[in-house]
């Protein structure tokens, strides 16, 4: 019985044991009941562990019950797929491969690799090997057997993701920014797409070639304070808060209370509710004018946009409208009346008819958001940035979202994604994010994953895949528990889809690989042309020893000092983040003491590395060590930036928080807006004043000389 259960878990890709990424690499073992439930959460019925053998046999027979799988993801250098037919039909099989442009010409060979008797019939599994060249793209694969046609998707992937020549030949640099955090004299209290365009112009002046931004996806319309860019309600569409209302056609300044906007801008942190509501109020007025002029060229463009975005845009707009109509009654789509929980129901169709104008407004928001992002991307191209916009694809999304509402069978039921303890987050992380069910995803030929990749890659020169280990496995935690385990995905398929979309969209790919990284994983993604993400604090021998010298940094990586989830340089130096976590009861007394000891050791090793590398500025030589955090060493900003920027990494990203001496966290994982002001920290300097900042200019000059 136990062997059957263990074999079943292996067959389904559910980990019984795993180790964390903390320094002691503690091993965990999930209990049988949690694992049994995980089998059910993936869509397979297992009422009792004793039934494992029967379910395992059922799974073993699945491949023999269909002629073709839903999809075959193959490398262009080795195109193989299989089919299952009755043995008597083997000699009569006809194979065809085509695209929308017509049939492809190819040669192939076939051979039987296995046979099985089911229900008195003998079946053969045949492997086909294509011996002709097929360029990377998606093909319609058809097999004719016994006068019937069977179809599948043949995704022919390049061996490697797209990598621009500039990255292979030069060491490029740029900035990693949180768009919402940008201050400017023109925005309404939160960074917007016009700020992004202006930032691109500034990058051209200083010689930067890449702009990394936070995820820009749409968030909860009725709860703007739920501001995490990693908790979207759809990864296919944009957050309307980034719309520059003044650039929307028909805008009239006289209809806006700028006194109120100025008061909001003076607040220490971003007031999402006030800003969003002001923008929505103004945009609703513009929408009223817009639909009256339904014969205009702009309206025709809007209708074209709606047709192009199709059912996904409609689902988002309908979902947002239902949420708004029932916001005082229900807080989750699973609480809605049952007939509204199904997007294809007659009740939803009637709702659409009754609320067509409100639904149209949400589409209007997406129309202008995409239009303005495209305009910002045009400015980036005009500025000649060699990589350009470096976008960010979240690992999951808010479970109370349009994506889950419109396709909840595609996601792992009653669970959310998270992470076990690691060196940066010793208590682990329960993200509560919706995660794709690997079996449902493959059954849909990976189309939902393909669509979010395409959306994120649109107009971008590079894409950061958040928690790239999710291509291989995700730590899944049941909603009613704090303990989870890993669920494995079809890693080779996922890598192949990423490489194919990268090739088709001419967009390089970077994997955020900080945390619990399996052995051999980095080598595997590098082998498919996916660059990794490196931070200074992780570039240490054995994880916690001396800092690596810049020449030892990985070449195929995007490097920065830290990330949005880590304390900025000044905060890290003083250890304010440790005290923040302690005050929030995220650390015990002993853990707090150990963290401070670790930070003291980190400071000592960092100073030693900076001294050895000779990176202290000539006009700010090191005069003391401030080893116990009693002061901020003169010149350490420039020294750290020079050390990191001179590294071997292909791309270096400077963070404005470090440059401007920010000493608060942008995000503290494991907390929400009720306990910590995540995703709300404004930069202390206006965008228009960067080039007048001594610190900014000194760091830019240092980076340019170091690259």
Model confidence pLDDT, tens digit, residues 553-585:
999 999 999 999 999 999 999 999 999 999 999
Spell 657-675 as b/e; 16+ CB within 10 A means b: bbbbebbbbbbbbbbeeee
Enumerate the β-bridge partners of residue 514.
none
Residues 53 and 81 in one domain: no
Q: Is residue 118 part of a domain?
A: yes
pLDDT at 147: 85
Q: Any idea what DSSP says for residue 436? A: B
Measure the CA–CA gap between 129 and 39, rounded to whole angstroms. Answer: 34
In a domain, 502, yes or no: no
* Residue-wise pLDDT tens digits, 656-681: 999 999 999 999 988 888 899 999 99
Above 90 in pLDDT, residue 227? yes
Residue pLDDT, tens place only, 447-458:
999 999 999 999
pLDDT above 80: residue 628: no
CB 517 within 8 A of CB 46: no
What pLDDT, on the 0 to 100 scale, is given for residue 702? 97
Please name the residues in contact with 520: beta carbons below 8 A apart, sequence gap of 6 or more.
Answer: none
In the prediction, which pLDDT does 425 show? 66
244 phi/psi in degrees, rounded to 5: -85, 100
Read off the pLDDT of each residue in 119-124 and give the average, rounded to a whole number.
91
Q: Would you give the distance in Å from CA 222 to the centre of its chain?
A: 23
- Name residue 651's beta-bridge partners: 172, 558
The verdict on pTM exceeding 0.85 is yes
Residues in the chain, total: 707
Q: Would the pLDDT of 424 be above 90?
A: no
Angle between helices 346-354 and 356-382 in degrees, nearest 10:
80
CA dist., res. 13 & res. 7, Å (int) = 10
Q: What average pLDDT does the chain have?
A: 95
CA distance 391 to 454: 12
Average pLDDT over residues 10-21: 91
φ and ψ at 551, to 5 degrees? -70, -15
pLDDT of residue 400: 95
Contact 230, 433 (CB under 8 A): yes
Query: Is there a single domain that holds both residue 51 and residue 84?
Result: no
C-beta atoms surrounding 538 within 10 Å: 20
Q: Evaluate whether 471 touches 487 at the Cβ level (below 8 Å).
A: no
With b meaning 16 or more CB within 10 Å and e meaning fewer, what string describes 201-235?
ebbeebebbbbbbbbbbbbbbebbbbbbbbbbbbb
| CA atoms of 510 and 629, how far apart (whole Å) | 34
Final residue belonging to a domain, choices 39, 62, 85: 62
Domain count within the chain: 2
pLDDT in tens, 520-561: 999 999 999 999 999 999 999 988 899 999 999 999 999 999
Is the Cβ–Cβ distance between 14 and 439 less than 8 Å?
no
Reference 460, options 226, 238, 645; nearest CA is: 238
Which pLDDT does position 420 carry in this prediction? 82
Backbone angles phi, psi at 697, to 5 degrees: -65, -40
In a domain, 496, yes or no: no
Q: Are residues 30 and 98 in the same domain?
A: no
Give the residue, 353 or 294, on which the prediction is more confident.
Answer: 353
94 with 23, same domain: the answer is no
Range of lowest pLDDT (24-38, 224-238, 276-290, 633-647): 24-38
- Helix-, strand-, coil-residue percentages of the chain, each rounded to 5: 45, 20, 35
**Contact status, residue 231 vs residue 435, Cβ threshold 8 Å:** no
Q: How many Å apart are CA 454 and CA 681, to the nearest integer?
A: 30
**What radius of gyration, in Å, describes the C-alpha atoms of the chain?**
27
Taking the C-alpha atoms of residue 282 and residue 534, their distance in angstroms, rounded to an integer, is 42
Domain boundary among 157, 191, 218: 157
- 86 and 117 belong to one structural domain: yes
pLDDT at 427 over 80: no
Provide long-range contacts, Cβ within 8 A and 24+ apart, for 594-602: 598/544, 599/572, 599/575, 599/629, 600/627, 600/628, 600/629, 602/537
The span from the CA of 668 to the CA of 427, in Å, is: 12
- The answer on 148 and 98 residing in a single domain is yes
**Cα gap 12→342, rounded to integer Å:** 28
Question: Quick one: average pLDDT of 605-613?
Answer: 96
Same domain? For 49 and 82 the reply is no
- Between the alpha carbon of residue 593 and those of residues 12, 59, 70, 553, 588, the distances in Å are 42, 51, 54, 30, 9
| Inside any domain, residue 485 | no
Query: CB burial class (10 A; 0-12, 13-18, 19+) of residue 193?
Result: buried
Closest residue by Cα to residue 582 from 483, 676, 666, 661? 676
Residues 6+ apart with CB under 8 A from 549: 609, 612, 613
**Main-chain dihedrals φ then ψ at residue 475, nearest 5 degrees:** -80, 110
Averaged pLDDT, 180-204: 98
Contact 637, 699 (CB under 8 A): yes
pLDDT of residue 426: 64
In this prediction, residue 422 carries a pLDDT of 67
Same domain, 87 and 138: yes
The Cα–Cα gap between 77 and 98 comes to 18
- For residues 123 and 576, give the distance between their C-alpha atoms in angstroms, rounded to a whole number: 66
Which of 157, 186, 218 is the C-terminal boundary of a domain? Answer: 157
Q: Tell me: pLDDT of 2 over 90.
A: no
673 located within any domain: no
- Domain contains 133: yes
CB 622 within 8 A of CB 607: yes
- 126: Cβ contacts below 8 Å, ≥ 6 apart: 82, 83, 84, 85, 90, 93, 110, 111, 112, 113
Q: 144-179 pLDDT, tens per residue?
A: 998 899 999 999 999 999 999 999 999 999 999 999
- Provide the pLDDT for residue 482: 82
Q: Any idea what DSSP says for residue 82?
A: E
Query: Which residues are 174's β-sheet partners?
Result: 653
Residue 86 is part of a domain; what is its CATH number? 2.60.40
Chain segment 17-76, per-residue pLDDT in tens: 988 776 667 888 999 999 999 999 999 999 999 999 999 999 999 999 999 999 999 999
Tell me how far apart the alpha carbons of residues 51 and 63 are, in angstroms, rounded to a whole number: 20
Maximum C-alpha span of the chain: 87
- Residue 15's CB is within 10 A of a number of other CB atoms, namely 20
What pLDDT, on a 0 to 100 scale, did the predictor assign at position 463? Answer: 98
Does residue 314 sit within a domain? no
Same domain, 39 and 97: no
Which domain covers residue 86, as residue numbers? 77-157
Task: Please say if the pLDDT value at position 1 is more than 80.
Answer: no
Sign of CA dihedral 627, 633, 639, 640: positive
- Specify the DSSP class assigned to residue 691: G
The verdict on residue 436 lying in a domain is no
pLDDT at 397: 94
The C-alpha torsion from 82 through 70 and 468 to 436, rounded to 10°, is -140
Residues 276-330 have pLDDT tens digits of 999 999 999 999 999 998 888 999 999 999 999 999 999 999 999 999 999 999 9
Average pLDDT rounded to a whole number, residues 5-21 = 93
pLDDT value of position 53: 95
């Amino acid at each position: 019985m136990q062997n059957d259960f263990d074999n079943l878990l292996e067959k389904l890709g559910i980990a019984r044991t795993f180790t964390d990424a903390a320094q002691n690499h503690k091993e965990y073992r999930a209990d049988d009941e949690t694992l049994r439930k995980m089998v059910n959460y993936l869509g397979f019925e297992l009422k009792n562990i004793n039934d494992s053998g029967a379910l395992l046999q059922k799974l073993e027979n699945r491949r023999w019950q269909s002629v073709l799988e839903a999809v075959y993801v193959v490398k262009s250098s080795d195109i193989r797929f299989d089919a299952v037919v009755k043995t008597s039909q083997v000699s009569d099989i006809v194979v065809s491969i085509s695209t929308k442009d017509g049939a492809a010409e190819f040669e192939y060979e076939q051979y039987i690799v296995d046979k099985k008797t089911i229900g008195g019939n003998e079946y053969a599994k045949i492997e086909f090997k294509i011996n002709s060249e097929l360029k990377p793209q998606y093909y319609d694969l058809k097999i004719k057997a016994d006068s019937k046609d069977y179809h599948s998707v043949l995704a022919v992937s390049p061996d490697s993701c797209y990598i621009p020549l500039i990255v292979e030949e030069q060491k490029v640099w740029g900035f990693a920014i949180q768009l919402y955090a940008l201050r400017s004299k023109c925005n309404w209290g939160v960074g917007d797409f016009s700020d992004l365009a202006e930032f691109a112009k500034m990058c051209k002046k200083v010689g930067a070639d890449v702009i990394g931004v936070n995820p820009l996806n749409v968030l909860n319309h009725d709860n703007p304070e739920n501001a995490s860019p990693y908790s979207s309600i759809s990864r296919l569409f944009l957050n309307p808060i980034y719309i520059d209302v003044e650039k929307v056609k028909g805008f009239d300044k006289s209809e806006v209370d700028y006194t109120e906007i100025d008061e909001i801008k003076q607040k220490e942190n971003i007031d999402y509710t006030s800003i969003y509501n002001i923008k929505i109020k103004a945009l609703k007025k513009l929408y009223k004018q817009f639909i009256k002029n339904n014969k205009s060229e702009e309206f025709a463009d809007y209708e074209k946009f709606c047709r192009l975005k199709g059912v996904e845009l409609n689902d988002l707009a309908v979902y947002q409208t239902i949420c708004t109509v029932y916001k005082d009654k229900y807080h989750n789509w699973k609480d809605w009346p049952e007939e509204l929980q199904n997007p294809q129901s007659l009740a939803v169709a009637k709702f659409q008819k009754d609320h067509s104008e409100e639904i149209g407004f949400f589409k209007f928001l997406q129309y202008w958001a995409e239009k303005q992002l495209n305009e910002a991307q045009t400015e980036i191209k005009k500025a000649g940035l060699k990589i350009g916009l470096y976008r960010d694809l979240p690992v999951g999304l808010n479970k109370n979202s349009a994506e889950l509402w419109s396709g909840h069978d595609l996601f792992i039921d009653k669970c959310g994604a998270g992470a076990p303890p690691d060196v940066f987050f010793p208590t682990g992380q329960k993200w509560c994010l919706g995660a794709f069910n690997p079996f449902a995803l493959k059954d849909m030929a990976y189309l939902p994953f393909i669509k979010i990749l395409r959306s994120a890659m649109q107009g971008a020169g590079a894409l950061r895949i958040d928690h790239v280990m999710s291509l291989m496995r995700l730590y899944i935690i049941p909603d009613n528990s704090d303990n989870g385990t890993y669920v494995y995905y079809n890693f080779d398929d996922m890598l192949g889809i990423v490489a194919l979309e990268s090739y088709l969209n001419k967009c390089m790919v970077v994997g955020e690989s900080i945390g619990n990284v399996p052995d051999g994983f980095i080598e595997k993604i590098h082998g498919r042309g996916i660059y990794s993400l490196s931070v200074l604090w992780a570039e240490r021998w054995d994880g916690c020893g001396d800092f690596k010298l810049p020449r030892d940094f990985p070449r195929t990586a995007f490097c920065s000092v830290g990330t949005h989830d880590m304390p900025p340089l000044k905060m890290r130096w003083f250890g304010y983040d440790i005290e923040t976590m302690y005050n929030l009861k995220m650390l015990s007394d002993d853990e707090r003491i150990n963290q401070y000891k670790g930070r003291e050791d980190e400071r000592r090793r960092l100073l030693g590395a900076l001294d050895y590398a000779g990176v202290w500025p000539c006009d700010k030589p090191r005069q003391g060590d401030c080893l116990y955090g009693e002061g901020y060493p003169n010149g350490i900003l420039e020294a750290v930036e020079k050390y990191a920027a001179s590294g071997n990494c292909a791309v270096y990203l400077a963070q404005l928080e470090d440059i401007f001496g920010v000493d608060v966290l942008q995000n503290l994982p494991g907390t929400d807006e009720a306990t910590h002001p995540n995703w709300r920290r404004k930069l202390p300097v206006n965008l228009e004043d960067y080039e007048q900042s001594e610190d900014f200019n000194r760091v830019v000059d240092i980076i340019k000389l170091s690259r």
